[in-house]
Amino acid sequence: MDPHEDQNSCHKGWYSRGYLPHLDSAGVIQSVTFRLADSMPASRLEQWKTEAKTIGYPRLVLQRAADWLDAGHGACHLTDARVAAVVEKTLLYFDQEKYRMLAWVIMPNHVHVLAEILNDGRLPDIVRTWKAFSARKANEILGRRGRFWQADYFDRFIRDDTHLAKAKRYIHQNPVKAGLVDYPEAWPFSSANPKWGR
């Protein structure tokens, strides 16, 4: 079945959430980023969207957001190893059932995931489950209440093997780019870590 013509299933196919097209379909590989609630003010994101639209360069939003997140804004609750471990365990819970996890990294204030969506999985439902379960557990660990994750997330489907290799490299290099470690394998909550043998 062509994932771009997925009209007879529970998947949405192509759709838009405002400024970039998205694809919800089984059999495609998705790059997903979601972040903590306090990591990026909505006003800042809107400013970047306006700027990107003005100059006709949609990727500007992604670049600005990535740099902002890597600078470590917000409370950075994911630096607590107990919380990061909960998030990692949550990401892997339905691995091989609803998706096939290809790469991930849990940064201080955001998470990157690369996963192939399987027939029983829908990306919006998968991300909602990751966020709901991990938020509940994280708030218990931290003794806090309130919103843990930002409501939205960013997703991008992987076009080909070159794009896949680039996305995986970006995910594994993120802690290095942010100045947190000298090499990807040193970051404890990443598929690059030798404990996973990936």
127 lies in some domain: yes
169 lies in some domain: yes
Which residues of the chain are under the pLDDT cut of 50?
Answer: 1-8, 14-15, 17, 19-21
Question: Each residue of 141-170: pLDDT tens digit?
Answer: 999 999 999 998 999 989 999 999 999 999
Amino acid at 181: V
d(CA 49, CA 12): 24
Half-sphere CA count of 13, side-chain side, radius 13 A: 9
Long-range CB contacts for residues 43-49, cutoff 8 Å, separation at least 24: 44/68, 49/18, 49/19
State the residue range of the domain holding 130. 20-191
197 lies in some domain: no
Number of domains in the chain: 1
Question: Each residue of 73-94: pLDDT tens digit?
Answer: 999 999 999 999 999 999 999 9
Q: What is the pTM of this model?
A: 0.86
10 lies in some domain: no
d(CA 44, CA 37): 13
6 lies in some domain: no
Half-sphere CA count of 70, side-chain side, radius 13 A: 19
3 lies in some domain: no
